Structure 1
Amino acid sequence: MEVTLPVVGMTCHSCVNAVTGALEDIQGVTSVHVDLTGGKASFAADRADFDVDVAIRAIEDVGFDVPEEYRQATVRLPVVGMTCQSCVQSITGAIVDVDGVEELKVSLEKNEAEVRLKLLRTNVQVKDAIDIRGFQVLDQSPQISDMITITIDVIGMTCHSCVNSITSALQAHPGVSDVHVSLEKETAKVTYDASKTNPRVICTAIEDCGFDTVYVYDDQGDVQASTPIATMTLTPAADIKSHDDQATTATLKVTGMTCASCVASIERALKKRPEIVSVNVNLLAEMATIRYIEEPSGILDGIIQQIEDIGFHAEKQDADGQDKAQLKIFGMTCASCVNSIERGVKQVAGIKSINVNLMTESAYVEFDSSIVGLRDIVEQISDLGFDALVSDNSANAQIESLSKVKEIKEWKAAFIQSLLFTVPLFFLAMVLPMTNLGMEMMHLETPIKGLYWTDLAQIILCVPVQFGVGKRFFVAGYKSLRHGSPTMDVLVMISTSSAFFFSAFAILYSVVSSQHQKPTVFFETSAMLIMFVTLGRYLENLAKGQTSVALSKLMSLAPSSATLLIVDEETGNVIGDRSIPTELVKVGDLLRLLPGDKIPADGVVVSGSSTVDESMITGEAVQVSKTKDSRVIGGTVNGLGSITFRATQVGSDTALAKIVKLVEDAQVSKAPIQGFADVIAGYFVPAVIGLGCITFVIWTIVFHVLSAKNKALLPDIFQPDGEDWFFVCLKLCISVIVVACPCALGLSTPTAVMVGTGVGAENGILIKGGGPLEAGHKVGKVVFDKTGTLTRGVMDVHKVCVWPETEGLFTSNQLLLLAGAAESRSEHPVGRAISRQSLAVSSLQTTEEYATVTDFASITGKGIDCHVAIHNKSVWQGSGQKYNVLVGNAAYVVKDRRIAINRNQQLAMEEEQVLGHTCVLVAVDESLVGYIALADTVKPEARVVVETLARMGIPSVMVTGDQEATARNIANQVGISEVHAGVSPNGKTILVKSMQETQQLAVEQTSKYPIYRRYIRRRTLRPYVAMVGDGINDSPALAASNFGIALRSGTDIAMEAADVVLMRDDLCDVVAAIDLSRTIFRRIKINLFWSCIYNVTGIPLAMGLFIPWGYHIHPMMAGMAMAASSVSVVLSSLALKGWRKPDCTGIETQAGGGRWWKHIFTRHPYQPVASDEMSVVREAPGEDLELGQISL
């Protein structure tokens, strides 16, 4: 039976909750729906003879009226037995005769009678009248398949204001018949008509209120479905491109690249292929990410072959390493062993393929990790009689690749080899002629006329360097020239070959000519160029290896083994333990940690207590206490205690693996500014070769013109008789080719990105690549979510109020101590918050130190009742008394326990509830003493962060789905003036986009200013908007913003959508992330500036433009300069390792005091401003173009 009653006096959602609770407590009531706007309460009863008067008294008991003149009940009675319209008429005639029936509607289709009754208990007479006519009225409505009850996990509720918001939103939703939201359980129980709505729409309605939904359970408690928003993939708008849906992505390892020209040549060659969609080649990571159309098959093999034809080595990287493994197998003796292993492993469910190699004693296995684990495969091989170990060479190889171990060894060997031959060659060519004895030795001829001993010695010493060490330059240079994509190797090849072959030609000419004059040779130039290039590459790779130290450290954090506890399946007791490789740990394994152990997987502590050093993950050097139910992170280090934990994420699903993957992806991505360097690199080598040829031709012409007029006009670089003019011009040409270096230009951006992202990871700031880095330095406004971002997201005591009538009996502290002692045994979030605050007030560790609690009783969802005896005189004068303490909601204290509350007290509580605070009443010895208001508190660093951002010229905005009053209250506490309340997730996205348009418009408006003012104005205006959030409902806005920042304490979806993930739940890292992106981008610009300046000044100097003033560059010095340029750029990027987080704390201590030199040498880049300065700081340029607050 369904009943609807008018209710007078409801003014807010607290009233709705009171009426709802009163009706739900009535035995026989199955569901309740209270309509605040319509002023009525509807409920369903499980009996047709339900006493409506009981419901009316319940409503009146909580302070509301059901007027006598309007006491009508609309009753729906399910009727069984109707078959035709005659039945309908018969029932209608029977009911009409009953007194009190005002309206009647009998439905044959629905098998029900809907009756509006004026008098109470008339429903019983109606039921009897229908029964007399031969029909049956069911006590309970028949099961209707369309009515479904689900329970939804709701994340983000902190107070009753949140409960009211969700309840109101769902009650207004068509098709929803019943809603019950539990703050304690963080759930929403919803009954709905499946023909009118569905769980997806219901979850969306909850998320529109600003909360996150995770799982939907049916009324049996089984998981019915994940909510759609939790499973969708959010892609930032900047990453959405028009592309063919059939494109395949492949990752290739490309070795042999040395400069930006190498990158440009690979990208240019591959982009010519029609099946290629996009190509991204990273110089430092030696990775190429290629999207292509796999039609016809074998395209990837052709791509790899083309890269190798250009002069580089390429091989395919496994895209999904978690379902593939390489095992080392011991004990095989013949082919029969191989067949036995392959046949036995293939019988295991989930095995896709296995390939065993007898010679290498290894096996390569592909498997479905959702069906079978790696440990199952190893155990299966062991059961077959062989020993198997996981061969984890891939991680070691990757660490070595990042550290440039192979390249460092190769270039070091090449440098030493060239050094051994070049030093004596340099002595013969440059030092020996400086002495008289040396000059005589220089002119000693061999038996062959025209061939001198010193020249012969030089060519013998030069050949191993030119064609031994220099072979790699010739091979790579030849391949790149063959494909029309010259690289740095071509420049080395041309310059060294010119010096060597022209010297060799000079010797040959001297031998075959009739004059047999001693030839002019410069073999030392060729050898020393190669020596300096190899030295430069050696130093460059040493420096490059340092750029990825942070990532290498992260990859090496995982321990090699874990201690697995063996559990008896029948008793559940631990019967032993054994050590296993970390790769074999499975979800659900029980693992033991001894003092000093590295944690092998993510999990939850089952027993024991300890402290854990999580600094390598969070960047915060603080020992974190771990007790039962605490979460532990793989790769962190256990302290002095011993704990047992259950693995929840293993392998590539651990937090450490995800961090490593994120940092890897960031370091191989390109910053947009790198496109500038790539464009220049594409034309650099041909242009340099052209300039070298022009230099040779021009100086040849200059020499002949001036020689014809007056040899005295020739520069000193030319000999007086001019016989060696050819070699002078050739040296100038070689100097031009050698001094020009595209390497410095190509390394400017990727080295800074790699070092910067690594430094960020070490400090708990994960930046997803070069794009976000570049966007971060342009941020001109930061939008903060409220719940969980600016606030802690947990309940804290906000106010303790003692009624004026009882102020003489108890103080506010005493009231808190009593309530805290009473709540010390409670598991409710509100109770824990009160107990925690009472201990803070008393400065004690436990409640037992000042009070004894007896006769404790907890009434679920209502409150507690107990006796409290105070025995500590230091916290309570006159201790020793015993009090009966009640703590609970109004329904429990006032209604159930019948403790009186006056109107003023009721209004005081309602004022708190309007601000979103949760209020609990405290009664002592059956008398109401006061109330405790709890609220979601602001994070302690929030105000300092807002003020620091303001000092940086970045105004802050708060956006929330909460009500206006609560939002304004939080905003005032943190110092934010621009507030947008009641905004849905979609509204947040719209808000962010409108701010982006406004910021961009402000920048565009500067075009009307003169150039110098435009430049100054644009330096202060930044067009990008950053969004800081932690929940699923923030994900669309995070993706839409230019610089999305997610807190790791939030949801995985938020972290996926964001550009930056902060590993600590500390808002100071928001400032640090923006500062780091500014620092990195500033370093990129410095690198690009100096690499450009180097070439702009070095090439003209090498071309001989300053020869009239006596300045030019010898080819050997040009080689040294070329090597130094690359090394200097990498060292410049390594300077980022000195970055430290800006200090956002200690406003007073930073502002003044202390010695003057401390202010010079201590890094405080962004001093927070005082509160009274905020209004001045917020008047940023372009503020007049801001849109007004958006009402969504």
Structure 2
Amino acid sequence: MKTIKKSFPVLGMSCAGCSARVDKTLNKQPGIISVSVNLAAAMATVEYNPEECTPEQLKEAVQKIGFDLIIEEKKETQKDMDEVRKSHYWSLKMRTLLAVVLSVPVSVIAMFFHDVPYALQIMAVLSAIVVFGLGNSFFVNAWKLLIKGGANMDTLVALSTGISYFFSLFNMVFPEYLLRHGITPHVYFEAASMIVAFILLGRTLEDRAKGNTADAIKKLMGLRPKKVTVMINGTEMETEIDRLMVGDTVVVKPGERIAVDGTVVTGESYVDESMLSGEPVAVLKEKGSKVFAGTINHKGSFRFVAEKVGSETVLAQIIKMVQEAQGSKAPVQKLVDRVAGIFVPVIISVALLSFVLWVTFDAESGLTHGFLAAVTVLVVACPCALGLATPTAIMVGIGKGAEMGILIKDADSLEIARKVDTVVLDKTGTITEGIPVATDWVWTDESEDLKSILCGLEKYSEHPLAMAVVHGLGVETAEITGFESITGMGVKGLYEGRTYIAGNRRLISSCGIVVPAEMEEKASLLSSQGKTVIWFADNERVYCLCAITDKMKDTSSGAIDRLQNMGIKVVMLTGDADAPARYMAEQSGVDEYKAEVTPQQKAEFVRLLRSQGNIVAMVGDGINDSAALAEADLSIAMGKGSDIAMDVAKVTIISSNLEKIADTISLSRHTVRTIRQNLFWAFIYNIIGVPVAAGALYPINGFLLNPMIASAAMAMSSVSVVTNSLRLRRFKNVSHSVN
């Protein structure tokens, strides 16, 4: 069964109850595999079977419960959404400003000038403008949901402010009704207007902060230039990037940003790829080099052939991956969703119960106190903070990872990373560079002619080590005739009628060539260091030996030491022989190594570690190590550019820097700690706030929470949660033992 996974913007969500309702509705549709609704991003990520379900059906289902889904796939959609958000924020900001300007006089009159003629009428008019004019969205949204059988935060606000206003209006117009019952009529116009003002203020600050959680995506999207210079019939012409086709030749000038992925055909320059890898050092690009969209050219200029355009570029894939990851849910969010789903009905029930209890047990002022308690309970309850606690931290954490060159596939992976206690590293291409290089040369006769002959011999060889010799010599090659490859031993050929050989020690012995003792000693020393020794000779004597190795990356030793300081065991696995494996293990400082292991044995070893209770992260290239990666709790692929195995691993390190593994674990620990902090304060706020609002402290010390204070506290609870999450943007690449 082939499924489709897409993200759709959701309109109309204002609290955790909304996102929970949308989530529940989408999950009920036929053909749905998984759904993740992110309140902070206002996005629903849906995986579905296209044979049973269509985006149109999903849109219709969401509309039936009072929300909307944007399913149109066009390049302007993201731009349109940004415009909608900007317009909404500006409107919210203006309404908030007016609400505060009009609410302050109502509060001042209520406190100091309530005996002034027409004071009540002035308060009633100003309050009506604030509550039903500037706060009309609360009533509209609440009504839309009510007729669909739902309720959310807007329902609580509409109930509390509406009841406060109309109760006050009744007391102002018919004061004698309560007086006949021995009750002094009070008005709460200031409470109704200030509640709206505070909640609008909170939502404005929250909206602004929520916009900042998507900064990483905005930065990535801003990396693609709008126009590009192409070669058409030998002439440079500027064109829109959307018109660029695969196969076009693109001209890149100094300081320009590269538009699409491709391969350099002429020219050379250094390119800043930090947006991809997180590494600040510019990379040399010459003929045959790969270049990627979003990277910045330095002073040189070059031309390249476009190979991947539009949504196929590495940058576009990264943006898509980060968006999907930011929209995913951490396991802890399931509990929050369950709470959010019943939150509003429970709060309304608590408000009614508190009113009934006050009226029942306080004969003297139960009506007044009961009314205040019910309104305050409705105001103080805040599902928004609960709904924003996890997704905002996930969005900022995953976005921060992307800025650092760490692509985290989903929230599950981000949460698992903090628990890792064992990291298993593949050797080749992970600890080492993955490219054989000649490191040592020992000559008995170092002439240019002999170098050319050796270079000519190795140039014809198909062995992967041969190119290391050719690159290491860096000389013109001699014309070799009678070339012959000797399986498992080396190569031989003729130059000016004389036979020359290049290969291993067995080849030298088979030819009966006597090797000087000092060269034997040197070869043994180099072999003990895990290096492969290539001998070069003619039929009579040895001229040279060359040692080849896969060099350890400059950052590997420090990265492994850093992981160990974080309390993590590091194991190296390799298919190499024991001698080079042991040498690399000693040089890198790993805790344990295993040599001569097959891909299947790697997977079995990871399975064994997990069976012993370890939380294992497997680090490899994402393809050759796929079996072991699949067995690990956390799979991490190392790679660069288009070689990234994004679909294989849960985490992809775009650069080859092992330091990023420690960064990933450290970022995970910080993010999960932030989620815990957010959820703690969100739950504690409601656990303490609701009983206090209902009047739990009144019998003890006579304290009854003012609705205006409650509304300010409620508004700030959401803002504080988002602000706490935004602190993750300041995360530095320094590990801490945070659990």
Which secondary structure state, in structure 2, belongs to the residue aligned with residue 946 of structure 1? helix
The CA deviation string for residues 148-178 of structure 1, in whole angstroms up to 9 with x for no partner, is xxxxxxxxxxxxxxxxxxxxxxxxxxxxxxx
Partner Cα distance (1:896, 1:577) in 2: 61
2:99 maps to 1:418: yes
Partner Cα distance (1:885, 1:611) in 2: 44
How far apart are residue 857 of structure 1 and its match?
3.8
Partner Cα distance (1:781, 1:269) in 2: 40
2:542 maps to 1:951: no
How far apart are residue 544 of structure 1 and its match?
0.5
| Structure 1 residues 848-927: aligned runs within 5 Å | 856-857=478-479, 862=491, 888-889=502-503, 900-901=514-515, 917-923=531-537, 927=541
Amino acid in the other structure paired with 1:1062: I
2:388 maps to 1:765: no
Partner Cα distance (1:419, 1:665) in 2: 38
- Report the equivalent of 2:21: 265
More helix by share: 2
CA contact (8 A) 2:276 2:641 kept: no
How far apart are residue 796 of structure 1 and its match?
2.6
CA contact (8 A) 2:388 2:718 kept: yes
- Report the equivalent of 2:170: 505
Partner Cα distance (1:555, 1:296) in 2: 33
Deviates more, 1:421-430 or 1:675-684: 421-430
Return the TM-score normalized by structure 2: 0.89
| Structure 1 residues 184-195: aligned runs within 5 Å | none
2:325 maps to 1:661: no
The CA deviation string for residues 1046-1077 of structure 1, in whole angstroms up to 9 with x for no partner, is 11239857431101111111111111111111
| Structure 1 residues 1106-1121: aligned runs within 5 Å | 1106-1107=697-698, 1108-1121=700-713
2:41 maps to 1:285: yes
- Report the equivalent of 1:88: none
- Report the equivalent of 2:392: 751
Deviates more, 1:955-964 or 1:643-652: 955-964
- Report the equivalent of 1:553: 219
2:695 maps to 1:1081: no
2:65 maps to 1:310: yes
CA contact (8 A) 1:597 1:637 kept: yes
Partner Cα distance (2:343, 2:689) in 1: 14
Q: Aligned to 1:409, which of 90, 96, 102?
A: 90
How far apart are residue 824 of structure 1 and its match?
11
Partner Cα distance (2:583, 2:204) in 1: 60
Amino acid in the other structure paired with 1:467: F
Amino acid in the other structure paired with 1:425: V
- Report the equivalent of 1:1124: 716
Partner Cα distance (2:476, 2:633) in 1: 58
2:654 maps to 1:1063: yes
CA contact (8 A) 1:863 1:892 kept: no
The change in CA–CA distance for 1:269 and 1:479 in structure 2 (over 3 A counts) is farther
CA contact (8 A) 1:1029 1:1054 kept: no
2:286 maps to 1:627: yes
The CA deviation string for residues 535-556 of structure 1, in whole angstroms up to 9 with x for no partner, is 1111101001100111111011
Q: Aligned to 2:334, which of 672, 675, 697?
A: 675
CA contact (8 A) 1:1062 1:1069 kept: yes
Provide the alpha-carbon RMSD of the alignment.
Answer: 3.7
Q: Aligned to 1:609, which of 244, 251, 268?
A: 268
How far apart are residue 513 of structure 1 and its match?
8.6
How far apart are residue 484 of structure 1 and its match?
4.1
How far apart are residue 830 of structure 1 and its match?
5.0
**Which structure 2 segments of 5+ residues have no match?**
486-490
The change in CA–CA distance for 1:702 and 1:395 in structure 2 (over 3 A counts) is closer
| Structure 1 residues 951-1100: aligned runs within 5 Å | 951-999=565-613, 1023-1049=614-640, 1052=643, 1054-1100=645-691
Partner Cα distance (2:61, 2:70) in 1: 12
| Structure 1 residues 478-493: aligned runs within 5 Å | 478-493=143-158
CA contact (8 A) 2:537 2:544 kept: yes
How far apart are residue 422 of structure 1 and its match?
1.8
How far apart are residue 485 of structure 1 and its match?
3.5
The CA deviation string for residues 683-723 of structure 1, in whole angstroms up to 9 with x for no partner, is 2222222222222223333422xx5xxxxxxxxxxxxxx5x
Amino acid in the other structure paired with 2:260: A
- Report the equivalent of 1:730: 371
Partner Cα distance (2:449, 2:636) in 1: 40
**Which structure 1 segments of 5+ residues have no match?**
1-244, 322-391, 434-438, 445-452, 568-574, 708-721, 839-846, 848-852, 868-883, 1000-1022, 1143-1163, 1168-1192
2:152 maps to 1:464: no
CA contact (8 A) 1:801 1:931 kept: yes
The change in CA–CA distance for 1:768 and 1:925 in structure 2 (over 3 A counts) is same
2:192 maps to 1:526: yes
How far apart are residue 464 of structure 1 and its match?
2.2
- Report the equivalent of 1:10: none
The change in CA–CA distance for 1:1065 and 1:1137 in structure 2 (over 3 A counts) is same
CA contact (8 A) 2:622 2:649 kept: no
How far apart are residue 797 of structure 1 and its match?
3.3
Higher relative contact order (CA 8 A, sep 6+): 2
CA contact (8 A) 1:823 1:832 kept: no
How far apart are residue 960 of structure 1 and its match?
2.4
Amino acid in the other structure paired with 1:979: Y
Number of residue-to-residue matches in the alignment: 725
The change in CA–CA distance for 1:887 and 1:831 in structure 2 (over 3 A counts) is farther
| Structure 1 residues 579-590: aligned runs within 5 Å | 579-590=238-249
Which secondary structure state, in structure 2, belongs to the residue aligned with residue 285 of structure 1? coil
2:445 maps to 1:791: no
| Structure 1 residues 448-459: aligned runs within 5 Å | 453-459=118-124
Partner Cα distance (2:123, 2:289) in 1: 73
CA contact (8 A) 1:1035 1:1054 kept: no
Partner Cα distance (2:323, 2:510) in 1: 61
How far apart are residue 729 of structure 1 and its match?
2.4
The change in CA–CA distance for 1:816 and 1:396 in structure 2 (over 3 A counts) is farther
How far apart are residue 625 of structure 1 and its match?
2.1
2:731 maps to 1:1134: no
How far apart are residue 393 of structure 1 and its match?
2.2
Partner Cα distance (2:729, 2:236) in 1: 43
CA contact (8 A) 1:1038 1:1054 kept: no
The change in CA–CA distance for 1:760 and 1:890 in structure 2 (over 3 A counts) is closer
The change in CA–CA distance for 1:590 and 1:926 in structure 2 (over 3 A counts) is farther
- Report the equivalent of 2:488: none
The change in CA–CA distance for 1:282 and 1:591 in structure 2 (over 3 A counts) is same
How far apart are residue 831 of structure 1 and its match?
6.6
How far apart are residue 523 of structure 1 and its match?
1.1
How far apart are residue 275 of structure 1 and its match?
6.0
The CA deviation string for residues 931-963 of structure 1, in whole angstroms up to 9 with x for no partner, is 222121222322222222122111112222333
The CA deviation string for residues 656-709 of structure 1, in whole angstroms up to 9 with x for no partner, is 1111111111111111111121111122222222222222223333422xx5xx
Deviates more, 1:726-735 or 1:255-264: 726-735
- Report the equivalent of 1:85: none
CA contact (8 A) 1:820 1:836 kept: no
**Larger Rg: 1 or 2?**
1
CA contact (8 A) 2:454 2:502 kept: no
How far apart are residue 1140 of structure 1 and its match?
0.8
Deviates more, 1:474-483 or 1:580-589: 474-483
